[in-house]
Structure formats: C-alpha cells, structure tokens
C-alpha cells in the first residue's frame, strides 16, 4: 500500500510517500480501505520526536496519523458489529500503532463506529480525535449535565475547540469562546453566546465566572483560572504537564471532602467507538458539524503539517487518500 512514513525524527521534510507493508488484522480488528485522515498537533510533535508520550510511539519506519474514515474490507473472527462494505470512522492512539496516513488501516473493533449519513469521508476524518477529546473533557472529566452550565473554551476556533463549542451547546450549555476576533463569526455560528478576543481582553480579569473551563491550548492552569471558576467548578486541560497532573491528584482528594473544591482534570483522549457513536448521533441530528479548514492530498502531508504547526487553522486539516 501507499503511505506517508518517516525513518527519522525531524521537520516536515522527513515525511516520505511510498510503499509500505499492508497491515494484517487480528481476530478483534477491522481492515479498512482508508479514504481520508486528518492532521492533529500531536502528529507533528511525534514526527519531531517531542511528543510527551513518545515512548508509546511505534518504531521506524513510522506511519503517522490517528484519524481514519473509510470502507470495511475485512473483519476478524471475533468482530460482530461491522461487515465488509460498512462506512466507518475512528481513531488510533500511539499505543495502538497509529498508521492512518495510509491507503489501508487496521484498528480494533472498539475504536470505531458507523459514519452518520449526510457527511463525506473527508468530513468524517476530521471528527474522531478532536470530537472525542472535547466529549471526554466536557462529559466525562467535567461531568457536564445540567442545562445552563456556563462553559469557557480557550482556543475555541481550533480542531478540539470547535467541537467543544458545539458539544457544550448541544448539551444546553452557555458557551463563552476565547479566540481571535477574526474567528468570532465562526464560533458564534457554532453556538458560542459570547466571544472574548484574547488579543484585546484577558478573560482572567473579567467579571464572569464559569462552571467549566476547557483549555485546548495548555497555556493556563487551575491556579491561573481559579479566580473565574465557580466553587465546585472544573478546569480541564488537554496538556498532561506535571503541574496539571499534580493539581488533578490534589483536587481529586480535596473534592472528596468538599463539593466546593475547584477541580483540575486532564483529558487524554481514548479511542472509544461508544463515545464516538454519541458524537455521531449529534452529527446526524444536525447539532454538530465538522469544520474543515483545508484539504490536502496525502502526498502533501508535509505542507499540511506546516500549516497545522502555524496554529492558524480554523477547524480541521484533512488528508485525502485516493
């Protein structure tokens, strides 16, 4: 099969396009003809050898990529939920081998679900990692349930943030988005009721307070955000820094003693077809939509990485595989 791979760490020019061995399925896995993948920030972190969990990354030749969207070609003996011809999407973490920048992908049955009707493979490929990160952050880590929950999303126009805004809105939350002014219209269309331009205003100095602060950028922490977090509220970060992990451990213990404790949580996205099915329902109902910024042919993965690295993307960067 053709794939994007690398044989050393470095800048985007280490990415090569060429032949790699076809993946072989195990009894609990599904083999997929892959139509599209997407670029996530961790892709270029892994590529450069600077990912925080680099020890989990497969050896060279390394095929990057977490998201996949395609057609089932073959199922393992223990697979029950899917059959050849099904249109599926999902994601793989480093410990599961990555390798979605490729014409064929093999992944565990539990990692995927059916693509909802009404969206293309290209759109579907932009969903799994970012939508799952936002879903697991808001629902599982922050316990978002009640109507009217006030949610602040830092980095609201990015891949994870754009899903965070929509999911929080779909769960009847009141969403404040932090992003640049040029993206104000976009995040309001996604469901934000208020937008804070971080170039002009510091949300930490505002009079508002929030039940949940979802930090998709990782430049803040619970200590910085405590002043605008309500008693019993939760700060969730996508960055497993030592300070965030320490705060999470401490506040978990404190919250057992008092419901007023302001909590820190870290979301490390899990490949979970059940969670993705919940997101797929919201997509089917029209309450969430993938936001696609740029689409590149897979041969231009290096350019896609450079664009992602610029941090200018609004929504998702997609790699089409033909």
The CATH number for 220's domain is: 3.40.50.720
Please indicate, yes or no, whether residues 115 and 140 belong to a single structural domain of this protein: no
pLDDT at 84: 98
Over residues 195-246, the pLDDT tens digits come to: 999 999 999 998 899 999 999 999 999 999 999 999 999 999 999 999 999 9
Q: Which structural domain, as residue segments, surrounds residue 240? A: 130-266
pLDDT at 279: 98
Over residues 71-127, the pLDDT tens digits come to: 999 999 999 999 999 999 999 999 999 999 999 999 999 999 999 999 999 999 999
Using DSSP's 3-state secondary structure scheme, residue 215 falls into strand
Please indicate, yes or no, whether residues 146 and 254 belong to a single structural domain of this protein: yes
DSSP-assigned beta bridge partners for residue 87: 71
Please indicate, yes or no, whether residues 236 and 252 belong to a single structural domain of this protein: yes
Mean pLDDT of the chain: 97
pLDDT at 296: 98
DSSP-assigned beta bridge partners for residue 108: 29
Residue 312 has pLDDT above 90, yes or no: no
pLDDT at 131: 98
Q: Is residue 162 part of a domain?
A: yes
- Work out the number of other CB atoms within 10 angstroms of the CB of residue 129: 29
Q: Taking residues 153-180, what's their average pLDDT?
A: 97
pLDDT at 90: 98
CA separation for the pair 100, 39 (Å, rounded): 10
Residue 311 has pLDDT above 90, yes or no: no
Q: Is residue 204 part of a domain?
A: yes
Cβ-based burial of 19 (10 A; exposed 0-12, middle 13-18, buried ≥19): exposed
Please indicate, yes or no, whether residues 78 and 155 belong to a single structural domain of this protein: no
Using DSSP's 3-state secondary structure scheme, residue 81 falls into coil
- Work out the number of other CB atoms within 10 angstroms of the CB of residue 67: 30
- Work out the number of other CB atoms within 10 angstroms of the CB of residue 285: 10
Please indicate, yes or no, whether residues 50 and 121 belong to a single structural domain of this protein: yes
* Closest to 99 (Cα-Cα) out of 161, 152, 29, 157: 29
pLDDT at 52: 87
CA separation for the pair 314, 291 (Å, rounded): 8
């Amino acid at each position: 099969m053709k794939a994007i791979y690398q044989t050393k760490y470095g800048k985007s020019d280490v990415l090569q396009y060429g032949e790699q061995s076809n993946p072989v399925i195990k009894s609990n896995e599904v083999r997929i003809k892959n139509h599209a993948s997407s670029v996530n920030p961790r892709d270029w972190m892994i590529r450069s050898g600077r990912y925080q969990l680099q020890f989990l990354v497969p050896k060279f030749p390394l095929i990057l990529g977490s998201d996949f969207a395609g057609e089932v070609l073959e199922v393992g003996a223990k697979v029950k939920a899917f059959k050849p011809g099904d249109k599926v999407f999902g994601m793989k973490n480093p410990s599961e081998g990555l390798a979605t920048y490729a014409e064929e992908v093999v992944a565990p049955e539990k990692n995927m679900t059916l693509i909802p009707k009404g969206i293309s493979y290209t759109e579907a490929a932009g969903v799994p990692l970012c939508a799952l990160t936002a879903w697991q952050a808001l629902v599982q880590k922050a316990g978002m349930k009640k109507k009217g929950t006030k949610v602040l999303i830092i980095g609201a126009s990015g891949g994870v943030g754009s899903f965070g805004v929509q999911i929080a809105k779909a769960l009847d939350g009141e969403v404040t988005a932090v992003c640049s002014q040029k993206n104000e219209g976009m995040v309001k269309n996604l469901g934000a009721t208020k937008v804070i331009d971080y170039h002009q205003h510091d949300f930490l100095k505002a009079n508002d307070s929030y039940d949940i602060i979802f930090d998709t950028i990782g430049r803040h922490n619970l200590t910085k955000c405590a002043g605008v977090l309500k008693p019993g509220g939760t700060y969730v970060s996508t960055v497993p820094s030592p300070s965030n992990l320490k705060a999470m451990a401490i506040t978990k213990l404190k919250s057992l003693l008092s419901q007023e404790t302001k909590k820190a949580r870290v979301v490390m996205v899990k490949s979970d077809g059940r969670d993705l099915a919940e997101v797929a329902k919201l997509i089917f109902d029209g309450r969430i939509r993938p936001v696609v910024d740029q689409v590149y042919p897979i041969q231009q993965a290096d350019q896609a990485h450079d664009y992602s690295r610029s941090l200018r993307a609004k929504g998702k960067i997609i790699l089409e595989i033909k």
